[in-house]
Amino acid sequence: MKNTSFLILTLIFFLSAKAYPFEYGYTSEGFKYVKHKHNESSYQHAWCSAQNGIEEYENKDFTRVDCLTSTHAVEFDFSNKWAESIGQALHYQYMTGKKAKVILILEDPQKEIVYFNRVKNLSNIYNFDVEYVTPKILCIKDDGTCSYNDCKCNRKKQNLQFK
């Protein structure tokens, strides 16, 4: 009985660790956060530029739309913040009169598609648009960096230049 319980608990632990695909870091104060290789703003810039949108459009209430296009008020977020992105996008729709759109950033699409599917299901109920982007949009170079100089992937390279 003890062996069976141990095996079941071990299996549950292993499966739950695989079910949540994010890597975590901790601040000096002990707060937990999800690590990302590239900044949200790098994805936002790549997509918004291709759509001829306005980045960081400021609403009357001082909230900022990540990208305002001729048809959409777009909110970008990493997949771990899927629920938050919906509320923000719907608020931007209210403020701008343009249709809300959520763009989830899937750094590992095979593991993170579950979060996109959650948003997609809710978009059908609450009438907003949704899509996702992957690191491919950043045209990552062989050294793992993207072309956006202010992206965190370029910090090590920048720090070496100043030494």
As a residue count, the chain comes to 163
- What CA–CA distance (Å, rounded) separates 68 from 54? 5
pLDDT of residue 48: 95
pLDDT of residue 162: 40
> Residue 66, SS3?
strand
- What CA–CA distance (Å, rounded) separates 141 from 38? 13
Specify whether the CB–CB gap between 78 and 105 falls below 8 A.
yes
Chain centroid to Cα 156, Å, comes to 22
Whether 28 maps to a domain, the answer reads no
Whether 104 maps to a domain, the answer reads yes
Give the DSSP letter of residue 26. Answer: E
Give the DSSP letter of residue 13. Answer: H
Whether 67 maps to a domain, the answer reads yes
pLDDT of residue 11: 41
Whether 10 maps to a domain, the answer reads no
- pTM of the predicted model as reported, rounded to 2 decimal places: 0.78
Closest CA to 106 of 135, 129, 81, 86: 135
Whether 19 maps to a domain, the answer reads no
- What CA–CA distance (Å, rounded) separates 85 from 120? 12
- What CA–CA distance (Å, rounded) separates 36 from 59? 28
Provide the residue range defining the domain that includes 112: 38-161
Whether 126 maps to a domain, the answer reads yes
pLDDT along the chain (163 residues), means of 10: 49 44 80 80 92 96 97 96 96 98 95 96 96 88 79 66 43
Whether 98 maps to a domain, the answer reads yes
Domain count, the chain: 1
